[in-house]
Amino acid sequence: MTHEDPRTVVRAETPRGEIALRERTVDGATVHELVVAGVFAMDSRDTSTETALAERTLALLSSPERVLVGGLGLGFTALSVLKDSRVRRLDVVELEEDLVMWARLGLTPTLGVLGRHPRARVHVGDVADVLAVDPSPGAAEYLPPGPWDLVLLDVDNGPSFLLHPGNARIYAADALASALGQVSPGGALAIWAAQREPELLARLTDLAPTQEIPFAVEREGRQLEYAIYLARP
Ligand SMILES: C[S@@+](CC[C@H](N)C(=O)[O-])C[C@H]1O[C@@H](n2cnc3c(N)ncnc32)[C@H](O)[C@@H]1O
């Protein structure tokens, strides 16, 4: 495998630290990387689990018309949602205003499709506020209120590996109950994690029938086990 050092396409300072979009060439192909809060968050090399978060959950639902995605990242989960023609409206809530602007400017192919897709809207906001027990009307700009048929959360590497300490509140039992309360009958809440999360599984299981879907992933010679937690109220 041949690859070169990443080159910064665009960067910004936020109250949570640096956010940056970088690119590099690996075996002749362009790979995009996202840095959030000063640390590497993801790249576009293997997005199978981000895609699976959408595909595996949509496959279980009979009529997923309204979908909410928490965490834009490089947009792979969101774009997979849009590939399902039953989805009439996708709302993505992203904390970092700069990243939302980069999507609107189309700075990567995936973000570009999302930024101008007729069935999608990307909103600046904190998904913890949107799913809170008492969501404030302005929690995310221009976001119509729930319920949603499907709520997909990929804002951290899981509750045991947060991107921001403030996100811990998303995985508290009362917040999970509140999030489930914003899911339509027959719908689902799904949470992505970069490792098994037994406490999250137990907390969700106390609230609704919950499934753990593990994924074996090989990254740079290492075997990793990611997981999706799918709760159906
Ligand atoms: C790992 S990335 C998501 C990857 C995405 N699933 C994809 O397919 O590209 C996590 C994203 O969640 C955002 N984020 C983190 N905390 C958030 C919060 N509380 N509310 C909304 N977005 C948040 C980060 O800024 C980042 O864009």
CATH of the domain at 155: 3.40.50.150
Report yes or no on 51 lying in a domain. Answer: yes
- Tokens standing for residue 5: 């050092």
Per-residue model confidence (pLDDT) at position 5: 85
Tens of pLDDT, residue by residue over 89-129, are 999 999 999 999 999 999 999 999 998 999 999 999 999 99
Our answer on whether the CB atom of 71 is closer than 6 Å to any ligand 1 atom is yes
Report yes or no on 17 lying in a domain. Answer: no
Q: Say what percent of the chain tops pLDDT 90.
A: 85
Report yes or no on 163 lying in a domain. Answer: yes
Q: Mean pLDDT check: name the lowest of 57-66, 141-150, 201-210.
A: 141-150
Minimum-distance ligand 1 atom for the alpha carbon of 99: 27
Per-residue model confidence (pLDDT) at position 101: 96
Tens of pLDDT, residue by residue over 11-49, are 999 999 999 999 999 988 999 999 999 999 999 998 999
Our answer on whether the CB atom of 75 is closer than 6 Å to any ligand 1 atom is yes
Our answer on whether the CB atom of 99 is closer than 6 Å to any ligand 1 atom is yes
pLDDT band at 2 (very low <50, low <70, confident <90, very high): low
Instruction: Tell me, in angstroms, the distance from the centre of ligand 1 to residue 190's CA.
Output: 14
Number of independent structural domains in the chain? 1
The average pLDDT across 217-221 equals 82
Mutate to test the pocket of ligand 1, among 32, 49, 72 (most ligand atoms within 8 A of CB): 72
The average pLDDT across 149-160 equals 97
Report yes or no on 124 lying in a domain. Answer: yes
Report yes or no on 110 lying in a domain. Answer: yes
Report yes or no on 178 lying in a domain. Answer: yes
* pLDDT surpassing 80 at residue 135: no
Instruction: Tell me, in angstroms, the distance from the centre of ligand 1 to residue 79's CA.
Output: 14
**Which residues constitute the domain of residue 167?**
45-231
**CA–CA distances in Å: residue 188 to residues 62, 124, 219, 220, 233:** 11, 23, 29, 33, 7
Report yes or no on 176 lying in a domain. Answer: yes
Report yes or no on 4 lying in a domain. Answer: no
